[in-house]
C-alpha cells in the first residue's frame, strides 16, 4: 500500500508519539486540523469557480456564442443596439474587473492559509531556525517583488511551509494572522509581500488543490510543465517567486536505496545526501525566463524561426521590387512554416510582442539547502542506539541526527520536550550566466549544482554541534 505508507511517513510520522499526548492536547490538535480542512475546502471551491469562469469567458465556443448573440441583437429594432452594448460591457467587466478581483481574493486566502500553517508548525520555542549564507532578497530597487527562481532540495513535506516562512522573514518582519488581516484591509502587505508558487508535478500552486493531488496520484516524477504555460501564468498573475524541487520526491531511506541502484546502472553521479535531480521543470523555467527577457538561446529551432521572420520582413519591405505573384508564393511558404497565429499580425507586430518586457526579473537564481536535525541521546561514542528515557548517565551524550519531520511532528512540536533544529543555507547564482544556455548545458549546470549541494550538506553535518 504505497499511498498509506506515504501518508504515515510524511503526514502522521511515528504513531506512538501521537498516542503519548494527553487528551487535552489531542483535542487542540483536532481543532487545528479542522481549521486547516476548512481553509482547504474554501480555497479549493473558490479556485474551481475561478478556473471555470476564466475558461468560460475566454473559450472559443463562448466567444463565438457572444459574437453571434451580438449580431442577432443588432438586427432588433430600437433596443437591439442597447442590448449588444450591454452584453459587450458585461463581458468586458467579467474579464477586467470580476476575474482580477476574484484572483486577489484567492491570493488573500492562499496567504492566510500559509501564515496560519506557519504559526501552527514553525513559530514555537521547540523549533529553532538557523539561516546562513546570502540574504534572500526578492525585491527590486522599487522595493516591490520581482519574478525570482528558487531551487531547493526536498527533505520534508513541510519544506513548502518553510519556504513560505523564509520569504516572509527576509522581506518583512514575521506576520501573524491577526496582523495580516488588519493590515491587508488597508493594502499594506498586498503591494510588496512576495507571492510564492511551487512548480511541481505539472502544476503551479502554493496550496494543495484537487488537481495537484490528482497529479501526484496519477502521474510520475518526470511530469513537467511547458514553458508556454509558465509564461502565460506570469503574464496573467504578474511577478511571482517560483520554487522548483528538482528531486521531486522527499528523500527517504527506501528511495535512496532505489536511486543508488539506478545511478550504478546508468553511471550517474552518486549522491550521499540527495536524490538525483529531474531536469525538465528547471529547464522549462529557464526557457520561459529567456523568452520573456528576450534572451537568445542557442537552439536550432529558435534560430530557424528568427531567420524565417527576417526573410518575411525583407519580402514585405521589398515588395515593390518583385512581382506580386512571386511575393505571394514566398509568403505562403513562410506562413506554412510559421503557422496561422504567427501571420495574423504583421511581422513588425510579431517582433514587438516577442520583445515587449512585461515582467521584472531578479538577477539571481537562489539555491537553498534545507536540513532538519533533532538531538538524540546515545550511549558510548560510536553506538547509535538510544538510551532509555532516564536521566543521562556518564557514558551517555546528545548527538544531532538528521530527520525527515512529518506534518504531525511539526504540528505537535510545541508539546514535545525535544526540539527540532532547521538548518538553511542560501546561495545565489547569477541568472545572466545561466539563462542563455541550451538544454543540455542547463542540465549539466544543475547536476554540478547538486554535486556542490551534496558536499555542502556533508560539511554542515560535520560542523553543526550542540552547545
The pLDDT of 55-72, averaged and rounded, is: 82
- For the chain, the structural domain boundaries read 2-293+358-364, 300-355
Cell of 382: 560510536
pLDDT of residue 302: 45
The pLDDT of 252-281, averaged and rounded, is: 81
Check whether 417 has a pLDDT greater than 80.
Answer: yes
Check whether 15 has a pLDDT greater than 70.
Answer: yes
Check whether 27 has a pLDDT greater than 90.
Answer: yes
Q: Give the angle subtended at the CA of 74 by the CAs of 72 and 77, to the nearest 5°.
A: 105
How far is Cα 364 from Cα 379, in angstroms, rounded to an integer? 46
- At 343, the pLDDT band (50, 70, 90 cuts) reads very low
pLDDT of residue 158: 94
Contacts of 272 (CB under 8 A, 6+ apart): 454, 457, 458
The pLDDT of 223-234, averaged and rounded, is: 90
| Average confidence score pLDDT of the chain | 80
* Best mean pLDDT range from 170-174, 229-233, 394-398: 229-233
Check whether 72 has a pLDDT greater than 60.
Answer: yes
Q: At 466, phi and psi to the nearest 5?
A: -90, 135
**What's the pTM value of the predicted model, to 2 decimals?**
0.78
- At 197, the pLDDT band (50, 70, 90 cuts) reads very high
pLDDT in tens, 346-370: 444 444 444 444 688 999 999 999 9
Count CB atoms within 10 A of the CB of residue 167: 21
pLDDT of residue 338: 45
* Residue (of 70, 105, 106, 75) closest to 90 by Cα position: 70
Q: What percent of the chain has pLDDT over 90?
A: 33
pLDDT of residue 175: 66
Check whether 464 has a pLDDT greater than 80.
Answer: no
How far is Cα 88 from Cα 81, in angstroms, rounded to an integer? 11
pLDDT of residue 280: 92
Lowest mean pLDDT among 39-53, 190-204, 385-399: 385-399
Q: How distant, in Å, are the alpha carbons of 27, 217, 224, 266 from that of 247? A: 36, 17, 13, 17
More confident of the two residues 189 and 240:
240
More confident of the two residues 183 and 410:
410
Burial string for 253-267 (b: 16+ CB within 10 Å, else e) reads eeeeeebeeeeeeee
* Best mean pLDDT range from 163-177, 204-218, 383-397: 204-218
The pLDDT of 429-449, averaged and rounded, is: 92
Q: At 390, phi and psi to the nearest 5?
A: -145, 165
Amino acid at each position: 500500500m504505497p499511498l498509506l505508507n506515504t501518508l504515515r511517513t510524511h503526514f502522521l510520522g511515528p504513531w506512538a508519539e501521537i498516542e503519548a499526548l494527553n487528551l487535552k492536547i489531542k483535542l487542540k490538535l483536532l481543532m487545528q486540523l479542522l481549521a486547516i480542512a476548512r481553509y482547504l475546502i474554501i480555497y479549493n471551491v473558490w479556485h474551481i469557480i475561478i478556473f471555470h469562469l476564466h475558461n468560460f469567458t475566454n473559450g472559443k465556443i463562448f466567444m463565438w456564442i457572444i459574437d453571434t448573440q451580438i449580431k442577432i441583437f443588432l438586427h432588433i429594432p430600437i433596443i437591439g443596439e442597447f442590448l449588444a452594448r450591454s452584453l459587450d460591457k458585461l463581458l468586458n467587466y467579467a474579464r477586467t474587473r470580476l476575474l482580477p478581483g476574484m484572483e486577489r481574493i484567492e491570493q488573500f486566502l492562499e496567504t492566510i492559509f500559509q501564515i496560519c500553517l506557519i504559526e501552527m508548525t514553525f513559530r514555537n520555542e521547540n523549533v529553532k531556525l538557523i539561516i546562513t549564507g546570502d540574504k534572500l532578497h526578492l525585491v527590486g530597487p522599487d522595493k516591490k517583488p520581482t519574478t525570482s527562481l528558487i531551487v531547493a532540495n526536498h527533505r520534508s513535506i513541510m519544506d513548502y511551509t518553510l519556504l513560505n516562512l523564509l520569504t516572509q522573514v527576509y522581506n518583512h518582519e514575521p506576520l501573524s494572522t491577526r496582523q495580516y488581516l488588519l493590515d491587508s484591509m488597508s493594502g499594506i502587505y498586498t503591494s510588496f509581500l512576495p507571492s510564492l508558487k511551487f512548480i511541481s508535478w505539472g502544476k503551479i500552486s502554493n496550496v494543495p488543490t484537487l488537481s495537484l493531488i490528482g497529479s501526484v496520484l496519477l502521474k510520475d516524477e518526470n511530469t513537467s510543465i511547458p514553458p508556454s504555460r509558465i509564461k502565460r501564468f506570469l503574464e496573467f498573475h504578474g511577478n511571482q517567486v517560483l520554487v522548483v524541487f528538482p528531486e521531486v520526491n522527499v528523500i527517504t531511506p527506501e528511495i535512496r536505496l532505489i536511486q543508488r541502484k539506478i545511478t550504478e546502472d546508468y553511471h550517474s553521479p552518486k549522491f550521499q545526501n540527495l536524490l538525483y535531480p529531474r531536469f525538465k521543470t528547471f529547464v522549462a523555467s529557464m526557457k520561459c525566463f529567456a523568452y520573456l527577457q528576450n534572451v537568445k538561446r542557442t537552439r536550432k529551432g529558435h534560430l530557424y524561426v528568427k531567420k524565417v521572420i527576417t526573410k518575411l520582413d525583407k519580402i514585405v519591405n521589398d515588395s515593390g521590387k518583385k512581382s506580386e505573384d512571386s511575393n505571394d508564393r514566398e509568403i505562403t511558404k513562410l506562413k506554412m512554416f510559421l503557422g496561422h497565429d504567427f501571420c495574423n499580425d504583421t511581422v513588425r507586430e510579431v517582433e514587438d510582442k516577442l520583445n515587449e518586457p512585461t515582467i521584472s526579473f531578479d538577477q539571481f537564481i537562489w539555491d537553498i539547502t534545507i536540513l532538519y536535525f533533532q538531538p538524540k541521546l546515545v550511549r558510548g561514542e560510536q553506538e547509535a542506539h538510544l538510551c532509555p528515557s532516564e536521566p543521562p548517565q556518564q557514558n551517555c551524550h546528545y548527538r544531532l541526527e538528521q530527520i525527515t519531520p512529518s506534518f504531525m511532528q511539526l504540528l505537535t512540536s510545541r508539546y514535545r520536550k525535544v526540539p527540532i533544529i532547521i538548518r538553511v543555507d542560501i546561495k545565489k547564482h547569477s541568472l545572466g550566466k545561466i539563462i542563455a544556455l541550451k538544454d543540455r548545458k542547463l542540465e549539466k549546470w544543475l547536476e554540478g549544482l547538486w554535486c556542490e549541494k551534496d558536499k555542502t550538506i556533508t560539511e554542515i553535518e560535520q560542523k553543526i554541534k550542540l552547545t
